[in-house]
Structure 1
């Protein structure tokens, strides 16, 4: 099957929050998803404030194009964890550099969506924003690799807590 190429348009950018991507401690991180104006009007966000969470598709814009890894590698290069193929990771070393995050919607202010725990940094291009519907969550038993549970133990920890 031949590879297909298509263009995507950025619909928003992340403003504020972190300036560098890091592996852990995204808990409590607040930022704004600023939807492009004048292409969109505040009508584009009507009803969004009825939802507690968003699903955001974004581009890992700070990724080094030479750092792609389409094969298997150890998560976070940790020798204690097994090699995992590119589709067994959720990191930025992907061919299309797409990230997906679920974050808490704090408030809607026109075209500014105030969010918490969006693991994207200041300036990140946003490709899509969807409200989170509980019914689209996993159905049935959920399982994951033991290394991923260990690796993500501090991912949403709040570094400001004593």
Structure 2
């Protein structure tokens, strides 16, 4: 392995929606992914409105960088759940502070993408936007331990 670093430039930012990251109740949250007009024009979103969902790669910009935890720990510090290594979690405590979310695409208005259920907050730098292709869904049988199902029971429940 090399010590090569990678420099990334946001292609968009999240506008509106939630202002604070929380563990649950992202369901129904609407926001806009505003694509950078200095880099892109409306040709960049041509045909995107034919898709129902997007995958969005973003930077956890509000995370306390001293909260990095690369070893094993319990999700949400719940003593009922097993210790799991950093690659067994999907949270923000990651070396590159990257998040990946699948959300509903409701409308394309030029460089503004109105989305629902994006679990990124207002001001979040978006690093990439990809249409969701059903063919990229899981292939073969899917299995996971029980703790993610317990933990995420209210993740996409409607916001109070």
TM-score in terms of structure 1 length: 0.97
Note the C-alpha offset of 1:70. 0.4
Note the C-alpha offset of 1:130. 0.3
Note the C-alpha offset of 1:145. 1.3
Q: How does 1:26-45 map to 2 (within 5 A)?
A: 26-45=26-45
Distance 1:68 1:95 in 2: 7
Distance 1:2 1:65 in 2: 23
**Cα RMSD between the aligned structures?**
0.7
Unaligned runs of 5+ in 2: none
Kept in 1, the 8 Å contact 2:29–2:159? The answer is no
Runs of 4 or more, structure 1, over 4 Å off, are none
Note the C-alpha offset of 1:2. 3.0
What's the counterpart of residue 110 of structure 1? 110
Kept in 1, the 8 Å contact 2:19–2:122? The answer is yes
SS at match of 1:122: coil
What's the counterpart of residue 135 of structure 2? 135
Distance 1:75 1:34 in 2: 32
Distance 1:135 1:145 in 2: 24
